[in-house]
Structure 1
Amino acid sequence: MLFFSFFKTLVDHEVTVELKNDISIRGTLKSVDQFLNIKLDDISVVDEVKYPHMSSCKNVFIRGSVVRYIHLPAAAVDTALLEDATRREAAQASARAKQS
């Protein structure tokens, strides 16, 4: 759940989503769910010459299972907050493992 919460903080930021079929789509993140399904507005395709059919699209819904990478703007990532959340999640997992 950590990553789902993290992506929710990036709503209204510009991201680039690289798909498993090698298309990279840049746009404004409008929503994301726990399955990494993504809605982007105001999109552009990174390699528009290779995928001209995508130039007419302005908004897309991307199923999480086809996402390879999500490229984030460095300025939008609060690394201290992310590191703290990761430590807490690891500590909780460790505590659960010791109880078993």
Structure 2
Amino acid sequence: MLFFSFFKTLVDHEVTVELKNDIQIKGVLKSVDQYLNIKLENIQVLEEVKYPHLSAVKNVFIRGSVVRYVHLPAAAVDTTLLEDATRREAAQAAAKAKQG
């Protein structure tokens, strides 16, 4: 659940979503759920010449199962907070495993 919570902090930031079919879409993240279903607004397809049929599209809903990568703006990522959360989650998992 850590990554779902992390993505929620990026709402209203510009991200680039790379799909499994190699299309890259840049837009403002409006929502994301636990399945990585993503809603982007004010989109721009990075290789518009290759995908002209997408030039008129302004908003998209992307099913999580077709997402390869989500490229994040470096300024929007609080690495210290993310590292701390990752350590806490790992410690909780280790404690749970130890209990049986």
TM-score by length of 2: 1.00
Deviations 1:23-55 (A, max 9, x none): 000000000000000000000000000000000
Runs of 4+ in 1 over 4 A off after TM superposition: none
Quote the residue 1:94 is aligned against: 94
How many residues align? The count is 100
Correspondences of 1:65-84 after superposition (within 5 Å): 65-84=65-84
Quote the residue 1:64 is aligned against: 64
CA distance, structure 2, for counterparts of residue 81 and residue 29 of structure 1: 20
Is 1:42 aligned with 2:42? yes
C-alpha RMSD of matched pairs (Å) = 0.2
**5+ unaligned residues in a row in structure 1: which ranges?**
none
Letter in 1 for 2:68: R
Deviation, structure 1 residue 20: 0.1
Quote the residue 2:33 is aligned against: 33
DSSP-derived class of the 1:18 partner = strand
Correspondences of 1:8-27 after superposition (within 5 Å): 8-27=8-27
CA distance, structure 1, for counterparts of residue 71 and residue 46 of structure 2: 12
**5+ unaligned residues in a row in structure 2: which ranges?**
none
Deviation, structure 1 residue 2: 0.1
Deviation, structure 1 residue 15: 0.1
- Between the aligned residues of both structures, percent identity stands at 83
TM-score by length of 1: 1.00
